[in-house]
Structure 1
Amino acid sequence: MNGTDRTVDVGHRLGDRAAAQLLADRKRVEAAQQLLPRTDRDGLHRLAALAARLLGTSGSQVSLLSDVQLVAAGTGDAAVGCTGPLEESLCTVTAALPAGDALVVTDARCDARVNDLPPVRNGVVGSYLGTALTDAAGRPIGALCVFDPEPRPWATSEIALLRQLAASVVTELELSALLRRYENDRVRWELATEAGGVGTFDWDLDSGQLIWDEQLITMFGYDVENFDQTIEAFHERLHPDDRDWVGEALQHAIETCGDLDLTYRVVRPDGEMRWVHARGRALPDHRDSAVRVLGAAFDITGEREAATLVTRTLEAMPAGFYSLDREWRFTHVNAEAERLLQASRDELLGRVLWEAFPAALNSVFEDGYREAVRTGQPVSFDAYYPPPLDGWYELRAWPSPDGLSVYFLEVTARRRMQEQAERSAQRLALLANISADLAGGLDQQVAMAHLPELVVPALADFCIVTVVDPEGRPQDVGCWHRDPEMRPVLERYTQVRLDAMPAGSPAAMSLRTGQQNRTPGPAVLDLMAPGEARDLLARLAPREAVILPMRGRNRTLGLLTMYYGQNTPMLADNVATAQEVADRAGLALDNSRLYSTQQQLAEGLQRSLLTEPPEPDHAEIAVRYLPAAEAARVGGDWYDAFLQPGGATMLVIGDVVGHDTEAAAAMGQLRGLLRGVATYSDAGPMEVLRGLDASMTTLQIPTLATAAVARFEQTADEFRSGVTRMRWANAGHLPPLVIEPDGAVSELAEWTGDLLLGVDASTRRRESVVTLRRGSTVLLYTDGLVERRDSDLDAGILRLREALVELADLPLQDLLDELIERLVHGRPEDDVALVAVRLHPQDRPRPAEAGPRRVPPTVPPEPFPG
């Protein structure tokens, strides 16, 4: 199927249905088109970036859907500013879901809903989480999503967080649209003021709709019923000699997004000709293309008195206007001002401003007005007037020789939107900081103790964090008060309060039930018996408290208790945010404890499969095993050291492919099989590896592994010469390193790896021999000791050799400990297994650091005693 056929197939199977459903709702399309050119893109980009950071994804995207998809903001592979067909977009599928649902895709390539869509086919999307953006009427206008190129699961808390971020995106869109509407209104009344006109017009270039007020409709000889709101209606009334040049002037203003200043003739239906003066402006969108022409016009036929023109202009303005004389008395009030001030002009004219509106005294209103009069310069400011007006206003005041002129708009809705957006941003920032703190490198006990400092004073006046220890006992581990002087009181209260708290206290109930509990402060005080705890709580004097459970997986692991003083209201948004903080803290605690348990179990399994090495005469063997820092990576590394029936010492190092408990179990099988082959047959390394590979095939053990086997042998002549032979074979493992008696470090030159175990049991394996002087040390290791994400394997082996040169003189046990500390700092990214043998000289007693001689009873004594 070619690309076109595939797109058509996708459209028929899913995309077209979702796209058709969205396009069928024309009101929703119009809403999206209205929001689109007004979008505050910086705000959307910040929210998209925040979504990717909080959910830990490589990409995020805000899409607006009309008749096409527009990527309004995004991170990662999101093509910001691009448009595309609806039927090829995952966001179309998201927006078409029932209200409140999210599109949750853990593996896009296996999900029949989306696996044929282009972003999935081209590898950009491997996992996807999206939620619809809806307008005030609940209609979808777009989608917010996060995605990764690889599959991943999505937690319930992550889905909830994305929905909350979607609400912030919608708030950002609505605020942007509202600001533009206010800006349009402001432009309209400013133009009307400049023109001194009587009517206003608004021509939407996208829809073609031409809006006139009643005075302009009457001026052109129409009435409301027969004016069809088209530009043709305007051209129909123009004088024939004026039509061409007026049309050219309009076109020029549209092309340049410029101003209009026209005087033309209008011929009314009764034949009467009137002169009209019009001024206007073409307004651009974010692409600097004109989308609207706004302006004002007035009939200048026989009109010469400026006062009449000004009055009519002021009455036509969509903004409030009043003038004050030098004694602060009202001298003019227009119709819009009557509506906004909730008083008629008859009630206001002649009254002193400060008497009519006493709350303006000693406020920003008085300060601004007096500054304008004092400096002779205009002033602009936003201010709130309390009930009965109870609103925010944007004001501009111009001084004149006669007093002061004031133009004002009500912007209450805009302010509320701004405040809501600010609260939402602060809330998300707080959650982001807390998430970073809980997910950081701090011990969870330390993180819990620090948690109150993050939530106070943003969410409460003071706070206490309680954690249930592994034995089930609650302990207060952290507290914070907004008043520094009260912090010692609160800290002492946390030391004594739990012992003084009765079994029926709200805190005890929340621990038992896992439910939120709100209670008045005096009620808690009444529950407590007289004593130090009660006295301390009385000094803290909380008006109200809310106890929030810190829930993990099916268990309550602690409490976040928020306290509010006499002058601090307990806001529902703050409580909801605090509960989310508590949920995140509970999940972090649960994860920490589960991680610790898993790590202990995995490490215990691994260590149970490894044994202590033997202690043959004059040969000191040391071993180390260190699990990965991530519990899930504990798995298949192993070491072994044992004596064969003939008395030879054999060392083994191996690594099963994989990092989980299954790899650890497979390691145990292979280790046991190799031991059995080697200790029963007394065979050499090559034959041991061949026998192990054959046994894996016979027993159908479905795993791959690397392994290296070294056997230490000695003849009578070699004993007298003070040397030992090492016979070795290698199945794809790393080369051992040898520390010579003089401290030099070398890598076996002929150490070449044969095929891994578990690939082909019939492969021919090789064996090599090297002669070592007594006093030499041989080290075998797994790749966890040398591999790093930020460097290649050769660089890691070089670091190991350099470390061995510096540590060569240390006792063998100390050498291995120091080696692990230097190379992996005690926290390896992968398992680390080490086995080393130091061949002490045989012409002197066995050294004390080699430990007592310990060999199986079936192994003959040393054949060549010293």
Structure 2
Amino acid sequence: MAAVRATGLDAVPDAVLDRFVGLVARVLAVPVALVSLVDDVRQFFPGAVGLAAPWQQGRTTPLTHSFCQRVVRTGQPLVVSDARTDARVCDSPAIEDLRVVAYAGMPLTDETGHVLGSLCAIDDRPREWSDPELALLTELASTCSVLLGARVASARAEEARTGQRQAQAVARTFSARVNAALRRSQLLLAASQDFTRTVTVPDVIAAVQHLVVGEFTAVHVSVALRDDNGGVTVFGAEGLPAAVSAWARFPADAPGPLADVLRERRLLFCTDRAELLAAYPTLRDTAEAAGWQALVVAPLFGFAGIIGTLNIAWEQPRPADVEEQAVIVSVAGYVSQAMQRARHLTDRVQAAATLQRAMLTPLPTVERLEITTRYQPAQSLDQVGGDWYDVVVTGAGALSLVIGDVTGHDLHAAAQMSQLRSMLRGYLIDRHEPPSALLRRLDQANFALGARTIATALVAHLTHGDGEPVTVSWSNAGHPAPLVVAPDGGVHPLTGRDPLLGVTRLTHRTTRSTVLPPGATLLLHTDGLLERRDRSPDEMTVRLRRVLAGHATAPLDDLVDGVLAAVPATDHEDDVALLALRVPDEG
């Protein structure tokens, strides 16, 4: 009680502590955060954010409402996921009056270790507190304890004038500890923010190196990850001397500090080179070549166990500071989460790329006709979408062109597109029917199978016998009109369009026909080619026709490359598929 009184705090706002709990609320994403102190009749909140009226204004409650008194009594953290079902606190009126459902409270102490209260994070709904969150709250509570301890020490020094010089020394010590603790808290806050923005493994390595090198003046920071083949790969080891190159890749059961941490699942801290070499004599050449005097290896834990290590080295001895070790363990927790997310996204990108390659089949060789295609996925992590093209030879002098676009540009859209494309390919081979009949069959199957996939599509049949003009017949289900580019630069669309696929059953569809002039180019494309936030479709259409007119007689690959270079932006948000066919000059 004397220590609580010596803080000079009461049930009134304290500017420093209010800012402090505001930081806690932001970092842990909780609606309520408190610095709660306990005396013999009440708890009071000199630091408080998020309490409902009248508690935020009054800043005090009787002990009947105090979860904090349990922290004071036991000297241990109190972590509650759902107070309504927790036997320790389920009868507390704070559940109803203060809307305390999830609670995490860490002890706040003075400089002698007396527990004065708790630093509390409170949620008004059930919540499973994660290990990194509790570690961060513990670190912040340690910082807050230093602040309270400094207040108590200052008050006692004021009372004991004879100990003024000693009190000043204590104050300086606590000030240094406060500064160090605040820096480390800021480091953890920066880590929580920076790692959420990482996407790839190199992103994670760059983030951890930026954080750790600056705060701990380390000369080397790397991350070692286990793979499925019993090996370990070290990321971030670039630039190390040749004697250290063996660290880049090694078996998980090889002798050494990294393998020991992987096996024993514990933090390894060698404070100087003598300690390092006493434990690992074979590292003498490595340590001397790299200039390392101290080394810490922290385990990285994933959902299924340990996934790797965080490795930090210094050029000078490093005392085994307990608070610094706690920060390193907390940073390792953030690295673990970021690495697992990055590896998951990498696996997803690779799976998407494999799926896309499987669906974009090679073009057939067609006598007398040039055909080329291009596909650019939306600028997303999946790198796969709902656009597709197809060219199918259906007989002597006959082939079919297909282009389509399923709503969306992600893996789900790709899966829907794959179903439509496969069914349509079967119809093209098995049913020698006009394009409109094939699209009707495809739409009926779309409904009958329960997919109701919304998509645009265009099917075109071409006949190209020797000495005869090239004839094209097509049916358009809501797709952008194909463009015919004449050798003289004239560009005109093949107009006429019916409703999209997947809208209504038994939609009437029409087949239209025309003759392609000798030397003409037929261009089919998806709407991603013309959709831009900063341009209207009409502007983009004018630009496309201008490019096509300028490339009317250019080689076919140059024409489509010119279109992709001049028409779409590099950051397009929709997929782009192109299919171009060139008619021979002799007709």
Q: Give the TM-score taking structure 1 as reference length.
A: 0.51
SS of residue in 2 equivalent to 1:423? helix
What is aligned with 1:458? Answer: 215
Tell me the distance in 1 between the aligned counterparts of 2:13 and 2:457: 63
Match of 2:386 in 1: 636
Does the aligned pair in 2 maintain the 1:633–1:830 contact within 8 Å?
Answer: no
Give how far 1:175 is off: 8.1
Shift of 1:707: 1.2
Cα distance in 2 between the residues matched to 1:606 and 1:419: 53
Please state if 1:431 is matched with 2:431.
no
1:605 aligned to 2:355?
yes
Distance in 1 separating the partners of 2:548 and 2:142: 62
Find out whether 1:776 has 2:534 as its counterpart.
no
Aligned to 1:670, which of 395, 403, 420?
420
Could you say if the C-alpha distance between residues 803 and 102 of structure 1 is closer, same or farther in structure 2, counting changes exceeding 3 Å? farther
Query: Which SS does the other structure have where 1:616 is aligned?
Result: coil
In structure 2, C-alpha distance between the alignment counterparts of 1:65 and 1:581, rounded to whole Å: 25
Alpha carbons 1:636, 1:664 under 8 Å: kept: yes
CA gap of 1:615–1:428, structure 2 versus 1, over 3 A, is same
Distance in 2 between residues matched to 1:69 and 1:778, nearest whole Å: 75
The match for 1:836 is 580
After superposition, give the CA deviation of every residue in 1:170-222 in whole Å (9 maximum; x if it has no partner): 67877888899999x8xxxxxxxxxxxxxxxxxxxxxxxxxxxxxxxxxxxxx
- SS of the residue aligned with 2:484? strand
Q: 2:480 — aligned with what? A: 734
Q: Residue 69 of structure 1: CA displacement?
A: 12
Relative distance call for 1:63 and 1:319 in structure 2 (3 A) is closer
Q: Residue 392 of structure 1: SS of its match in structure 2? A: helix
Q: Does 2:255 match 1:504?
A: yes
Q: Is the 8 A contact 1:713 1:725 kept in 2?
A: yes
Measured on the aligned residues, the alpha-carbon RMSD in Å equals 5.1
Query: Once the 2 structures are TM-superposed, how far is the Cα of residue 35 of structure 1 from its aligned partner?
Result: 5.3
- Structure showing greater relative contact order (alpha-carbon pairs closer than 8 Å, 6 or more residues apart): 2
- 2:457 and 2:477 in contact (8 A); partners too: yes
Q: What residue identity is the alignment partner of 2:161?
A: A
Contact kept? 1:552, 1:589, Cα under 8 Å: no
Is this contact kept in 2: 1:68–1:86, CA < 8 A? no
Partner of 1:100: 79
Counterpart Cα distance in 2 of 1:71 and 1:803: 66
Supply the distance in 2 between the matched residues of 1:70 and 1:774 (Cα, whole angstroms).
86
Deviation at 1:476, TM superposition (A): 4.8
Q: Check 1:69–1:506 CA distance in 2 against 1; reply closer, same or farther (3 A cut).
A: closer
- The alpha-carbon deviation at position 837 of structure 1 amounts to 1.5
Which residue identity is paired with 1:463? H
Aligned length: 532
| Unaligned residue ranges in structure 1 (runs of 5+) | 1-26, 53-59, 74-79, 88-94, 105-116, 118-128, 148-153, 186-317, 321-334, 342-384, 394-409, 481-487, 844-866
The residue that corresponds to 1:262 in the other structure is: none
Is contact 2:267–2:298 with CA below 8 Å preserved after alignment? yes
Cα 1:700–1:492 change in 2 (3 A) is closer
In 2, Cα distance between the equivalents of 1:820 and 1:319?
A: 76
Relative to structure 1, the CA distance from residue 134 to residue 558 in structure 2 (aligned partners, 3 Å threshold; closer, same or farther) is closer
1:125-182 C-alpha deviation (Å, 9 max, x unpaired): xxxx9765667369778646799xxxxxx9x8x9445445555776787788889999
Looking at structure 2, the residues matched to 821 and 177 of structure 1 have their Cα atoms a distance apart, in angstroms, of: 64
Report 1:40-79 matches (<5 A): 61-62=31-32
Deviates more, 1:559-568 or 1:834-843: 559-568
Task: Say which of 397, 408, 422 aligns to 2:182.
Answer: 422
1:448 counterpart letter in structure 2: I
Query: Which residue pairs with 1:652 in the alignment?
Result: 402
Partner Cα separation in structure 1 for residue 397 and residue 362 of structure 2: 18
Are the structure 2 counterparts of residues 163 and 102 from structure 1 closer, same or farther at C-alpha, using a change threshold of 3 Å?
farther
Question: Which amino acid is 2:212 matched to?
Answer: V
Question: Is the Cα–Cα contact under 8 Å of residues 25 and 33 in structure 2 kept in the other structure?
Answer: no
Q: SS at the partner of 1:651?
A: strand
C-alpha separation in 1, matches of 2:501 and 2:293: 71
State the shift of 1:544 in Å. 4.5
Amino acid at match of 1:522: A
Aligned: 1:623 with 2:447: no
Confirm or deny that 1:337 pairs with 2:161: yes
SS of the counterpart of 2:215? coil
Partners of 2:475 and 2:511 within 8 A in 1:
yes
Aligned residue among 711, 721, 731 for 2:461: 711
Letter in 2 for 1:337: R
Q: Which runs of 5+ in 2 are unaligned?
A: 37-42, 57-65, 69-76, 84-95, 109-114
Rounded to whole Å, the distance in 1 between the matches of 2:568 and 2:230 is 36
1:380-416, CA deviations, whole angstroms, 9 ceiling, x for partnerless residues? xxxxx5xxx3x437xxxxxxxxxxxxxxxx8579737
| Residues 207-259 of structure 1: per-residue CA shift (max 9 Å, x gap) | xxxxxxxxxxxxxxxxxxxxxxxxxxxxxxxxxxxxxxxxxxxxxxxxxxxxx
Instruction: Mark the CA change 1:798 to 1:569 in structure 2 (over 3 Å): closer, same or farther.
Output: farther
CA deviation map 1:62-81 (0-9, x unaligned): 566999999976xxxxxx9x
Aligned equivalents of 1:170, 1:510: Cα separation in 2: 29
Partners in 2 of 1:499 and 1:633 — Cα distance?
A: 30
Instruction: Give the Cα–Cα distance (whole angstroms) in 2 for the partners of residues 160 and 34 of structure 1.
Output: 31
Question: CA deviation digits over 1:445-470, x for unaligned, max 9?
Answer: 47637844542352364434254586
Larger Rg: 1
Matching residue's letter, 2:259: A
Letter in structure 1 aligned against 2:255: G
Q: Deviation of residue 560 (structure 1)?
A: 2.6
CA displacement at 1:39 relative to structure 2 = 5.2
**Aligned partners of 1:621 and 1:835 also within 8 Å:** yes
Q: How does 1:47-446 map to 2 (within 5 A)?
A: 61-62=31-32, 84=53, 99-101=78-80, 132=104, 136=108, 143=121, 159-163=130-134, 166=137, 320=158, 336-338=160-162, 340-341=163-164, 389=166, 391-392=167-168, 411=171, 415=175, 418-419=178-179, 421-428=181-188, 430-431=190-191, 435=195, 439=198, 444-445=201-202
In 1, the alpha carbon distance for the partners of 2:446 and 2:195 equals 47
Q: Is 1:34 the equivalent of 2:11?
A: yes
SS at match of 1:34: coil
Distance 1:698 1:825, change over 3 A: same
Distance in 2, Cα, partners of 1:568 & 1:65: 34
CA contact under 8 A between 1:516 and 1:546: conserved in structure 2? yes
Task: Tell me the distance in 2 between the aligned counterparts of 1:573 and 1:68.
Answer: 28
For residues 287 and 123 of structure 2, what CA distance do their matches in structure 1 show?
47
* Inter-partner Cα distance in structure 1 for 2:202 and 2:419: 39
- Residue 108 of structure 1 is matched in structure 2 by none
> Using a 3 Å threshold, how does the CA distance of structure 1 residues 71 and 429 change in structure 2: closer, same or farther?
closer
User: Quick one: percent identity of the two aligned structures?
Assistant: 28
**Separation in structure 1 between the aligned mates of residue 482 and residue 285 of structure 2, nearest angstrom:** 70
Pick closer, same or farther for the CA change 1:447–1:653 going to 2, 3 Å: same
Give 1:761 shift: 1.9
Which whole-Å deviations, capped at 9, do the CAs of 1:554-605 have from their partners, x for residues lacking one? 3655433234566531222322322343344444444444333322323323
